[in-house]
Structure 1
Amino acid sequence: MMGNESSQLSGLEIEEKAVEITDFWCHYQAKINDSCRYFSLKSDGSVSVFKGEAAAGPLWAISTPLEKFSNNLLKYRHPCIVRYISAWQQRSTLHLATEYVQPLSQVLNSLTPLQICIGLNNILRALVFLHEQAGMSHNNVSISAIYVTGDGQWKLGGLQYLCPFTELTSAYLKHARLHRYDKAVDPNEDSYEITTKVDQYSFAVLVDDVFKGKNNDEVPYLKEFKSFCRDTLQHQNPAKRTNLSEVLQHNFFNHEFITIYKFLSFLPLKSEEEKADFFSHILDTLKCYDEETVAKQLSGLLLSRLAMLDQTARKDVIPFILKPKNDRVQNGENSGFFNLTVFKGHVKPRLMQLFGVRDSQIRMLLLTHFSKFVQVFTHEELSHHILPELLLGIKDIDDTLVASTLVCLSELVPILGADTVIGGKRSKLFTDGRPNPKTKLPISQLTRSPERKKSLRDLPCSEDVFEHSELNTFDNPLILNERPSPVGGESMEDEIITKESSTSKVDSEADWSDWENTNRQLTVIEPDSTISPPLNDEQLIQLEPAAADPLLKNDFIPKEDLIAKKTLLQKAALNAKKNILDISELDIKNQKSDYFKKNTDEFDFFADMMPVIEKPAVVSVDTSEIAQGLSSKLNFVPDENLDESEGWGENWND
């Protein structure tokens, strides 16, 4: 196979397997890398390459069949004739590169009668061009001379027998008959004096071949058109064969679908009023036809440059064509025209081509509807085709174009990722400042009865909620002070300040779920209760969180009682400080269940600068004061009458 280094098209890669082999050449599919991508609907640089050798015969004495075919393609350009790209010689083999095409014989069985009707219209237009504008006769109209592009358009090929009408003689036709389609050759053409009607006879045979096995009712006027071809185009007298330009006036080529196709094909020749009226009703008309046929035959024309620049089309047609049909359409949302499968097969390749067009109006139209069709592209198509074109758009001097491009780039971030879209190195510069609960609420709290409505107090918040502003943390009677230091040198005010700072710190770091814990028990000591045992440390711990909860205070203890009880508790704590005579009383092992108040006189234990430890003594406390709260056991008063040799009274290491 031919290498890339020896071809005139750089980056050309030719497939090894031929798609068609004829008497004169072999047809291969190929791809041009790193070059123009718009030779085919695929937008991937796909092309067709014909390789031909020298052939024997009087017609090929000067040039080979492929060389004549190549020269005629280069000379006679028409939208319905195969597009010429390049030709070069490699050793004894001539190479011809054209747009991507397939032989009609390979796809004919998959075409509908309506698609065949449009295809015949294209071939007829090409022949009329050659006859009337170029003055040339094709002389080889048949299925083998017709090719189909990627978007389903029929193109005329087989121009190796093309010659001017002035040179078309019986001898020329006799020399060319060896390789012509036998069925398309008039058996009596050698005896005719008029030889300019060869293509009419061949076209009638072509019509019969392409509609073989098709139902005549599938296309309007098909049966009448077949009869017209047999009676007129194949008439035994060539002089009575009508011109091909008159065949275009037949009703078969002027029904509704063909009329739409022709209007779009000749859009530059239409007036503004005609285009406005046409685009206002075209979608309603096309809904009557098969979506596959409409997309394959008309999607390219509907998304042509002239159609996309028309104001009426931009408002009434393009928004529906660029959006795949979605069955779940929300209120007020317009539905697309083509379903997703048809959209991917025929509209998506057009969009990839349009993103390469350097027209600001077309680009803005694509950017406006980008969110509607971005999901139909694969990751590879987005990253290799769409994204590079969008990145090119942000460098434009048009601020509106740049702003719309940035919006479309944001649509690609969730699909391709920010690394692919913006590139470069990234780092975490922002943090998530939302509160992160340490524990989850119990299921019992998550499933509360619906009858009870939540009040403001039931909702978690960052601060306590009080009914009255004067009830701050200090005045809350249920918040008990921490045990004073054993040395007894700190004042009550210092203890309260320390307690407040400690409480605020704990509250800020505490789990919010504890605020709603309404299952805690509150221990309340009545003033005239006969129960004598005082509160121990465990009871104090249980009492403090309950008192700190503002949600509980109104449900259990009146406000006035709480203030009075708090005052009595503080007085009892100060008196208890003075009555603890031995530090050993602070030990848990020596805790007494009952305390009685003992009235002793204070004395200065700093007199001789030596501590005197008194023997353990029972301290009696007034039961009325015990009922008001708890006593502090952290203060002691040493007794100088105790013997120094007795020490601390016990081994603290036990």
Structure 2
Amino acid sequence: MMGNEGSQLSGLEIEEKAAEITDFWAHYRATINDSCSYFSLKSDGSVSVFKGEMVSGPLWTVSTPLEKFSNNLLKYRHPCILRYVSAWQQRSTFYLATEYVQPLTQVLGSLTPLQICIGLNNILRPLVFLHQQAGMSHNNVSMQAIYVTGDGQWKLGGLQYLCSFQELTGAYLKHARIHRYDKAVDPNEDSQEVTKNVDQYGFAALVDDVFAGHEDDQVPHLREFKQYCSNSLQHSNPEMRPSLSEVLQHSFFNHEFISIYKFLNFLPLKSEEERSEFFSTILETLKCYHEDTVAKQLGGLLLSRLTMLDQTARKDVIPFILKPKHERSQNCEYPGFFSISVFKEHVKPRLMQLFVVRDSQIRTLLLTHFSKYVHVFSHEELSQHILPELLLGIKDTDDNLVASTLICLSELVPILGASTVIGGKRSKYFTDGRPNSKSSPHVPPLGRTPDNTFAQRQSLKDLSCSEEIFKQNHEKAEVYDTENISHLIERPSPVGGESVEIETVRINSNVADASEDDWSDWDNTNNANNAAFNHPDMKEFQDIPVAISSEVTIQKPLVKSSLLQKAAIQAKKNIIDISELDIKNQKFENIKKAAADEFDFFADMTPVIEKPTISAVAADSVLSSSSKLDFVPDDGADADESEGWGENWND
């Protein structure tokens, strides 16, 4: 159960269960909901909160132990000293917020001897800083004063006993002895006049505690270093104890792995030649060590800002670090260094933090290798953390950065879906235009073959046809069924075709098939009248006689259809201008000729009531019949009278 404690940090929620309880405070894990991912490796806003009550005593007359601890953290800043975040007081309770850490006593069992060696090195460095630069004595070097961050870095705490060397007296040590670690207290401390080398004795006790249960041959020079601590750092005469800066020069803190760690820590102090030589061989050297130790102790340094900006590291180190080992193949340029499990545990949190960095060089490097590690993130991590940062990148003014960002967004589409990546309402603007095939239920999309050439299409001869195939006899035309001839003519006549119920078949078998070049242009409206007569099929009907040739036997319905088609074509040939269809522009000769050539198709359907008397009807009598549509205009009529229709429809 969590609750807001009314702190100065907005959105702070403190867990109810304490991670550690000491004589002066209780250590809790807390979360800052709004931001502050900077204080947590996992970018979840985790911090550590120390709650201390008022304590009375000769050392705490001015401030409580937790208040003194907080003030010293705020005053003395060092990379290996616990990082201060905030402090506040609520009623009688004092609160101190720091970066998220765990007590060393809780994680020591999971550390390897090599990790412990690096941890001791990290504790010596701030102690040397306090002694030489600040002129202060810690007076509480023990496991209870050491904390471990999420990436395995040891941080020095317990600064509630910190004092200057001038204030360090026997009386001061006597007052503080009740709360100090008994094993770190010199038994002869009260009888000694020199009290300035208290931290050396406590560090020797710390070395003995952290290596308890480990063999001396697990770390180079461990046996010699233990002997050195017992004989020199815990010497009975405090004046004979070496300074802590001399301890750092021991071979135990200068073997190969520690040397790599120190080089990465002090990278800004190295020359360009030294950095180039170092990064060109570092991966081969690190292969000799356990990958979990390398990832936990060196992962952050290998992906630090200074490392990622180095030209040699960008070429020889970063591509291998950013790719999990499980994707390694024989022909792969970058086989990867860490396994997928180690990568997810130690490298992925670093990448989450790096995507927040507003540096174009670092972002470009992350985008270049994005496809190698994108699969290690969960859907929630991609949508909640990575995607917002990528969407921010496409708004940058750097064209190269925007182009790389768009490529990475395309990598997210198959994982998160296009709706999540691009947002907004989508519609289907494209359809699949592939033709359906009855023989093959699935037609693969057109693409490139492995030889980088377009897949060859099948010819029309190789495709199956669902229609019945008619064989053409060049010697004599065969009799075709009227139900199967509709597919032979590909399009009807532009004029009059709508009145034809059954398409006619080509009769002259010697005429070659027309090519595509012979087809008239559908869009050419200027030649609409001539287009109907230029079709090769239309020409065949011009010479069809009324009597059917003996070479072709066609059924009666086909004869009528042919005659209708012939009449339609003949009518179109006689019409030169569309204006001739106007009734007032018709010529007498045309009407007379049309009446003479008129054919009565319904003569044989007249019912027989009595014996009919057949007589010839003169053409003139037909023309003389009264009709409002048949008239001869008067050439001498007045021009005004010829305008308009001119007929009286009421007669």
| Bucket of the pairwise TM-score, normalised by the shorter protein | 0.7 to 0.9
| Structure 1 unmatched runs, 5+ | 443-453, 485-494, 504-568, 581-603, 614-639, 641-654
**Could you tell me how far apart the structure 2 residues matched to 1:350 and 1:364 are?**
16
SS at match of 1:167: coil
RMSD: 3.4
Deviations, residues 456-498 of structure 1 (Å, cap 9, x unaligned): 676217999x9xxxx99896978753339xxxxxxxxxx9788
1:574 aligns with 2:553: yes
1:500 maps to which of 474, 479, 489: 489
Query: Structure 1's 334 and 577: CA in aligned 2 closer, same or farther, altered over 3 A?
Result: same
Letter of the 1:285 counterpart: T
**Could you tell me how far apart the structure 2 residues matched to 1:281 and 1:476 are?**
88
1:335 aligns with 2:324: no
Shift of 1:501: 3.4
Query: Structure 1's 570 and 232: CA in aligned 2 closer, same or farther, altered over 3 A?
Result: farther
Contact preservation (8 Å) 1:481, 1:499? no
1:291-306 matched pairs, under 5 angstroms: 291-306=291-306
**Could you tell me how far apart the structure 2 residues matched to 1:371 and 1:575 are?**
73
**Could you tell me how far apart the structure 1 residues matched to 2:253 and 2:357 are?**
33
| Structure 2 unmatched runs, 5+ | 443-456, 493-547, 560-599, 614-651
Contact preservation (8 Å) 2:478, 2:552? no
Structure 2 partner of 1:344:
344
Contact preservation (8 Å) 1:473, 1:500? no
Query: Structure 1's 477 and 427: CA in aligned 2 closer, same or farther, altered over 3 A?
Result: farther
1:610 aligns with 2:613: no
Structure 2 partner of 1:224:
224
Letter of the 1:460 counterpart: L
Query: More deviation in 16-25 or 432-441?
Result: 432-441
1:133 aligns with 2:122: no
Query: Structure 1's 461 and 608: CA in aligned 2 closer, same or farther, altered over 3 A?
Result: closer
Query: Structure 1's 455 and 101: CA in aligned 2 closer, same or farther, altered over 3 A?
Result: closer
Query: Structure 1's 498 and 570: CA in aligned 2 closer, same or farther, altered over 3 A?
Result: farther
Structure 1 partner of 2:262:
262
State the TM-score, normalizing by the size of structure 1: 0.72
Shift of 1:35: 1.6
SS at match of 1:190: coil
Structure 1 partner of 2:463:
460
**Could you tell me how far apart the structure 1 residues matched to 2:274 and 2:475 are?**
87
Structure 2 partner of 1:314:
314
> What is the number of residues matched between the two proteins?
505
* % identity of equivalent residues: 74
1:21 aligns with 2:21: yes
Query: Structure 1's 397 and 609: CA in aligned 2 closer, same or farther, altered over 3 A?
Result: closer
Deviations, residues 208-257 of structure 1 (Å, cap 9, x unaligned): 00000001111000000000000000000011000000000000000000
Shift of 1:573: 4.1
Deviations, residues 121-165 of structure 1 (Å, cap 9, x unaligned): 000001000000000000000000000000000000000000000
**Could you tell me how far apart the structure 2 residues matched to 1:348 and 1:320 are?**
14
Structure 2 partner of 1:198:
198
Structure 1 partner of 2:148:
148
SS at match of 2:279: helix
**Could you tell me how far apart the structure 2 residues matched to 1:92 and 1:431 are?**
72
1:26-41 matched pairs, under 5 angstroms: 26-41=26-41
Query: Structure 1's 421 and 474: CA in aligned 2 closer, same or farther, altered over 3 A?
Result: farther
Query: Structure 1's 455 and 257: CA in aligned 2 closer, same or farther, altered over 3 A?
Result: closer
Structure 2 partner of 1:409:
409
Query: Structure 1's 570 and 385: CA in aligned 2 closer, same or farther, altered over 3 A?
Result: farther
Contact preservation (8 Å) 1:85, 1:97? yes
Contact preservation (8 Å) 2:479, 2:554? no
**Could you tell me how far apart the structure 2 residues matched to 1:333 and 1:105 are?**
43
Shift of 1:326: 2.0
Query: More deviation in 95-104 or 413-422?
Result: 413-422
Shift of 1:500: 2.2
**Could you tell me how far apart the structure 2 residues matched to 1:2 and 1:497 are?**
83
Shift of 1:436: 2.2
SS at match of 1:400: helix
Letter of the 1:373 counterpart: Y
Which one scores higher on RCO, CA 8 angstroms, separation ≥ 6?
Answer: 1
Deviations, residues 602-653 of structure 1 (Å, cap 9, x unaligned): xx9987873679xxxxxxxxxxxxxxxxxxxxxxxxxx9xxxxxxxxxxxxx
Query: Structure 1's 479 and 4: CA in aligned 2 closer, same or farther, altered over 3 A?
Result: farther
1:386-425 matched pairs, under 5 angstroms: 386-425=386-425
**Could you tell me how far apart the structure 2 residues matched to 1:479 and 1:395 are?**
74
Contact preservation (8 Å) 1:123, 1:155? yes
State the TM-score, normalizing by the size of structure 2: 0.72
Structure 1 partner of 2:7:
7
1:80-99 matched pairs, under 5 angstroms: 80-99=80-99
**Could you tell me how far apart the structure 1 residues matched to 2:222 and 2:358 are?**
43
Deviations, residues 308-338 of structure 1 (Å, cap 9, x unaligned): 0000000000000000012551524320000
Deviations, residues 489-538 of structure 1 (Å, cap 9, x unaligned): xxxxxx978842389xxxxxxxxxxxxxxxxxxxxxxxxxxxxxxxxxxx
Query: Structure 1's 480 and 229: CA in aligned 2 closer, same or farther, altered over 3 A?
Result: farther
Shift of 1:435: 1.6
Query: Structure 1's 436 and 610: CA in aligned 2 closer, same or farther, altered over 3 A?
Result: closer
Letter of the 1:500 counterpart: I
Deviations, residues 544-601 of structure 1 (Å, cap 9, x unaligned): xxxxxxxxxxxxxxxxxxxxxxxxx9845438769x9xxxxxxxxxxxxxxxxxxxxx
Query: More deviation in 311-320 or 2-11?
Result: 2-11
Structure 1 partner of 2:374:
374
Deviations, residues 51-75 of structure 1 (Å, cap 9, x unaligned): 0001121001110000000000000
Structure 1 partner of 2:252:
252
Shift of 1:38: 1.3
Letter of the 1:355 counterpart: F
Deviations, residues 184-226 of structure 1 (Å, cap 9, x unaligned): 1001011111100000000000000000000111100000000
Contact preservation (8 Å) 2:5, 2:14? no
1:481 aligns with 2:473: no
Structure 2 partner of 1:208:
208
**Could you tell me how far apart the structure 2 residues matched to 1:403 and 1:194 are?**
67
SS at match of 2:16: coil
Letter of the 1:209 counterpart: D
Contact preservation (8 Å) 1:25, 1:66? yes
**Could you tell me how far apart the structure 2 residues matched to 1:249 and 1:608 are?**
130
**Could you tell me how far apart the structure 1 residues matched to 2:433 and 2:601 are?**
58
**Could you tell me how far apart the structure 1 residues matched to 2:129 and 2:458 are?**
87
Structure 1 partner of 2:587:
none
Shift of 1:374: 0.3
Structure 1 partner of 2:431:
431
**Could you tell me how far apart the structure 1 residues matched to 2:76 and 2:486 are?**
102
Query: More deviation in 331-340 or 278-287?
Result: 331-340
**Could you tell me how far apart the structure 2 residues matched to 1:192 and 1:392 are?**
65
Deviations, residues 281-317 of structure 1 (Å, cap 9, x unaligned): 0000000000000000000000000000000000000
Contact preservation (8 Å) 2:149, 2:155? yes
**Could you tell me how far apart the structure 2 residues matched to 1:317 and 1:336 are?**
10
Contact preservation (8 Å) 1:474, 1:500? no
Contact preservation (8 Å) 1:605, 1:612? no
Deviations, residues 370-397 of structure 1 (Å, cap 9, x unaligned): 0000000000100111011111111111
Query: Structure 1's 608 and 190: CA in aligned 2 closer, same or farther, altered over 3 A?
Result: closer
Query: Structure 1's 318 and 209: CA in aligned 2 closer, same or farther, altered over 3 A?
Result: same
